[in-house]
Each structure stands twice: as C-alpha cells, then as structure tokens.
Structure 1
Amino acid sequence: MSFSDLYAKYNCNYCQEEINGIRIRCAECIDFDICLQCFSLGAEIGSHKNDHSYQFMDSGAFGIFLGRNSWSANEEVRLLDAIEQFGFGNWEDIAKHIETRTPEEAKDEYITRYLEGCIGRATWGTVESTSRPSLHCADRDEGPLGPSAVSRLPPLAITADEATQLGYMSNRDDFEREHDHEAEQLISALSLNSEDDELDVALKLSQVDIYTRRLRERTRRKRLVRDYQLVSSFFNNQRNKQRTLGKLAKEKKEFTERLRWTAQFYGRAEQAGVVAGLWRERELRVRLAELHRYRLAGVTRLEECAHYEQHAAQRKHPHAHLLHQWVPGHQSDKRANADQHAAAKKKRRRKRLKFHQPKVHTGRKYRMWMLQKELMQQQQRRMLEASADQ
C-alpha cells in the first residue's frame, strides 16, 4: 500500500456506497473494489464474476497503538502531516485537517504518543528538567569567527543630543526608524489557507521573496553605515565643515566624489586605498606630461625648469614685471626698482647660470639649423657639378 492510499476514498463498484473500512479488490478485474456486504452476497456486475480471485484491502482503518480509543493509521498520518504543515499548537487547523477528531483530542494524542510516550523518549532523549535554563558560555572562543579573528569597529563618537536628533540607539547600535520602514506591510496580512490553489500560493511566495530582498537591502545599508561610521561623520562634517573645505583641494574633492560609487564594493579602508592609489596615478601622469614638455623644449636639468618657466611667462606677458606699478593705491618707486634690478643682475652674474642669455626653447632653432645645412649641401653639389663640367 502506497502513502497516497491513506488519503484516497473508495466507493463500491456495485452499490456505489463509500467504503470506510476493509474492502475487497478483485485480482482479475482492473480497478474493481467491492464492499463486504456486496461480496458476501456474491454480487456480479459487468465482467466481474463472484469466483474471481480477490484481496482484502485496508486503507488505514487499523490501529497502530493498542488501546480502547486508539486512532487509526490514517488519522495518525493526518495528525503528523497537519503538525508539520500548520505547526505545533495550531490545534484548530490540525483538527480540521484530520476531519474526525477535535482539537483537544489531537493535542492529547500528540503529547501522549509522540512527546511523553515511547516514541518521544526514544527520539527526544533526556531533557534536563530545571526551572531556570542554564546558559553556558565558553571562556575562550578560538573558532573561525571568534573575537580574536574578527576586529570590532570603534564606537560612534556622538553625543546624547545628537543621537536623539538622529533617532540612533547606541546600546542597540540601531535606529528607531529603519530603512524602508513599511516593508513589513507587504506580508503582514498573508496567511495560508487550505482553500488556496497553486496560483494563490505562488503569489504569496512571490510577496515573501520581495520582502526578503527588501530586508537584504536594509541589512546592506546598515552595514555600510556601521562600516563607514556615517553617523559620527555626519556630525563631524557639520562641526568642521569650514576647516575641512579649507584643507581639501577642490580638484581632489571632485575626484573623490566621482569615485564615491565604488564604496558599495569595498570596505572603508579598501575604498580609501583605491581612491588614494588612483589619485597618485593621476599626479604621476601629470608630472610625466610636464617633464615630457620640458624635454621637448630642450631642458635636461631640474634646476633649469624654473628658469624655463620664467622665460615662458615673459614671452606670454612681456611686461608682467611692470604690472605691479600700475595697481591703484600704490606709487612707483623707480629708485627701488633700479636697485632691485641691479641686485638681481649681480646675483645672476655671480651664479653663472647656464641660461645667461635668452634661449629659444622651441624647435624653431633646430629647423633653422637643418635648413642652413641643407642649403650648404646644395651649394656644395652645385660646385662639384660645375667643376666636373670643366
């Protein structure tokens, strides 16, 4: 007998009455069942004859446990199936699933047979009967997720007033209002009923799946807030906003803002390292481009770079050194300017700089030299041709 036969209902093929107990199944006819009354009278119908071979079948009406009021095997299986489906303690729905017992009878049968009976003693083992549960905590935890292997984050450096304004509970390390605070309303009214079909069950499971995803997003955001110390950073930025803006260059701040999206893939320290590495790479690229420009201009020493920049500025603004004399509210002092010019000239002579004369820092001089060389070669070829003709 298969497990599905316990829930199957059979009718007599002769009198069409429902068979609740033992039935007779014909071994020669296909799917032919007959009740005991019709079998005792020798009933025949269709191709079935009363001299055919037969079998006695029982669909679970026999009792498993000995006793006067013992339950049938069908009822015991329905009891265990209902507890697995509706949970322990939901005796109203369990009794509806059994169909032949009251909630009190279902509760007494399960506790007597499967908790306090021989099956319960063999399955649950020995349980300590103490009035207060004992909590055992190991002195040292050296497991893979023990305190020694997991570094604790520092506490949040905020005042009580700031925590109250933000709705932050420091003892629980949590907020009074969670992210996506109304996510629980999606499943608050869900319940499984015996009348639900497959479409209803699938729809309810989809709602539970959506709720689970929203919980994961909430947990992810809380982890980011705790990892990056956003609570304390929020109030620290309010206190030190002016000082922070004064120290941080505008260009570097914009660069950091463009890379903020990488924070969802790294921790706080890792993300800071990535941003610092990319900023350093950018600085090196700018410096390499600057040195390449010096080299193309003919500058080969670092001490010559300042002199090159000075000449480049003078070529761009030939009268830049005279602009300060025309600032409103100031008077020109020709003697002071002459003294400064003489001192600077004397200093340049003493240091014997390489660039004692204005130098052309472009490729124009090289192109002129190549042109002169080509003209000289053409002149020499002409002279050789003239001598050969003579």
Structure 2
Amino acid sequence: MLSLMIYDMEALNEKEPCCFYCVSLLMEPYIKCATCVKTEERGAVTLCLHCFAKGVEFDQHQSDHSYSIVKNNFPLFERNWTALEETQLLKAVSDCGYGNWIDIAHKVRTKTHQECERHYNYNYIENTHDGLPEFPEKNLSFYPRPIVFKLSEDPPRPAEGSLVNTEMAGYMAGRGDFMHEHENFMELDLRHLYFDTGDEDPIETELKLAVVDIYYRCLKDRQRRKRIIKKYGLINMRKNAHSKWRYDAGLGQAFDNMRVFSRLVSPQDYEMFLESMLYEQELKNEIKYLQDYRSNGLTKIQHIKMFRMLKKNRETSQCDRHLLNDVVNHVKDESACQNWLQKQAALENIGKSGTLHLPNAPRRSAPPLDIVSLPSYEKLSVGERELCSQLRIIPAAYLDFKQALIHECDKHGSLKLAQARQLIKIDVNKTRKIYDFLVANGSIKRESP
C-alpha cells in the first residue's frame, strides 16, 4: 500500500508533458515520436495535434519519423474508470486532501463525489494493488511515416543484345562503366603528346600543360556524371519511365521545372519533396471534389456514391436525343419550335402527297464543360467558372485571354470588340461573350461611340 502511494505521488510530481514546438500543455490525444532518442534533458519528443498536422520540423526531428498516439482512454482497475481519470483522481486527492470528495469531484469533472469516494476507498485502501498493470511493448501501435517512398534499385544486369541493354546506352553493369565515355575522343589529343626536357620552347610546354589540364578536367567531369547517374539511379530506365509517368500525371509541368534543382539536394530529400508535392496536389483535387459535392447539397460521405451513380445516369439519358428534347432545349427559340411543328406535319402527310422536303433539325448546342479538376480552376470567380463551363474554355486559357484584353485596354484606355477578336483567335461568338462579360464586370472599358 505504501509503495503504491509513493509511486503514485512520484508520478503526480512529474512535469506535465508539453509540445516541443509551441510549448503548450498537451491534451490527450497527442503525438509521441518513436524515432527521436529520449534524453535526460528533454525526454521523448512530443507534439500537439496542431503542430503535427502542420508537419513541423526542428533539431533532429523530421516530419516523416514514425510516431505513436498517446491517449489514456483504457481502463486500469475498473472498466468504467480510464487511466486518465485515475490520474486526475490521485492528483485531486493530493491537492484537496482525503475526504473532500465534492472538491475532488469538481477536479475530476467526469465522476460524482460518491463515485470518487467509492472508487478510491475500494482500489487504493481496501483492495490495494502491487502496482499498475503491465502492457507489453508489442501491443504499442507505431504508425508508419506519412510519406512512403523507395529509392531506385541497383542497376539491372540485362542480357547482352536485349532491348533493356539497348536502352541502357551501352552500360556494362559488371564493370559499372559505359562503353562510350563523355568526350569519348579526348584521348586522341594526348596520344602524340610528349615533353622534351632539353631544348623545348617554354611556350610550347605551356600549351602542352594546358592540354593536359583540359584532359584532367574532362576526367573529373566524367566522374561527376557517373556519380550523379549512380546516386540518382538514372540508369534504371524502367524506374525513371514509371516515375516520369507518375509525376507528369500528378504534377504536370512542375515536375520538369523542378528537375534542374535535383542536384542541390540528396536523392532522399528530392524524392520526399516530389512525393509531398504529389500528395499536396491529390489533396487539392480531393478538396475540389468535396466542394463540388457540397455545392450540390451533399453533407455526408455515404451519399457520394449514390450521387455519382445518379449523375452518370443523368448524363447518359441526356445523350439520348429525340425531337422532344430539341423543343425543350430551345423552348425560347421560336424558329426551333416552328421547325419542329413543320417536321411533324410533314411526317403526317408523307403518305398523302408526293415528296416533301423535311426541314433540318435545329443544331444542338454542346453541353457545359466540367472544369472542376482542371488547372487554375480555383483562381476563377463563380461567374467566370460558369462562363468557362458554358463556352467550353479551360480556365488557364480564359485567364490568358482576360490578361491580354485587360493589358490592351490599359494601353489604349478602351477596347473595341473588333480589337478583342484580333487578340483572341477563337470563335467570334465566344470572343463576344467574353468581351461582354469583362465589360459588365468593369475589368475593361468599352470605347464610347
């Protein structure tokens, strides 16, 4: 009994855990790093959920370290008393004193004073325990790193004459060398070079030394190129083709723009950076889809599957064209309605008279374009999104057209529709609608008559 109480008091006197980054007191659940080494000065690295979600990094701690979630919501002695409540009860008894159960219940907050009195007397006085229950280490849940990546494998050893061997540009895996070196004919400039220590002209000696120095720099450049190829696994053609396809699909032009900076960091950091950019893009795309679902009135995840199925069925049914759809789609077009009535009259009289010339069906307008997942969608306003969808223009192209028209308007003070059509080489009707939209929004100024 005494040893247990001493153990409990020592546990209560320990310093409360705080976040190592924002230095705020931790509220369960919180994060504990499983990779950083625990020291006597600082203890284990712990983070609050807010700092963990931001991916903070400091000292030796990195955002991709393995971690465990600390939460004391498991029972110790009784099923309806968690370990957190046990700790709060012991601390409240230490602060308020034994017998002040009303004040103790106020500190515990989740139990009444009768429950606190019964539980404390039963477990810490009447039925004492030798110690706290032991939990084996194997039951601890260590979560993997948020970003999982794999570096390139060792250079393959394809059969001689195979397609893979041809793609590897004469790379000899056994020797770790290439059949053709960088500046492969550089040695030809040195084969007839010799030094005469007798009566050779000093200027000629300087020229020969300059040639040797150039060759030495070439050797260093060869080693540098081979080191980069080996370090980044560029010889593995299949791996690079797969990476290019994966990152081009997710990052687009950004992947090619970032490739020139790959030599400034290690392969691990470069791979992690690309994976983080790809993960960021995937999150943005998912947020766009969720925003689209929310705009359609969906508030629960389980409704999305039914929404997708109904949307697909609606799009399929809209593709089935018949004359009634033509009238409904052009109900405000008097000529289209008249055309449909003439066609019906012609079909009824086709057996009573000779050859009749049936009027052509009105041209059906193209459906709106789905631009939710296209680049630069988030840069458009609500009106611009509807305009691009109706005109079937991608957001990036619309922003280029808008910038060109605004620049031309600022240059001359106003802009005519004819000038806009010369700047934008697209359908004249689309140009007119874009021009009218920008004039209505005040982005450009129409030339006064």
Normalised by the length of structure 2, the TM-score is 0.28
Compare relative contact order (CA 8 Å, sep 6+) and give the higher one, 1 or 2: 2
Of structures 1 and 2, the larger Rg is shown by: 1
Normalised by the length of structure 1, the TM-score is 0.32
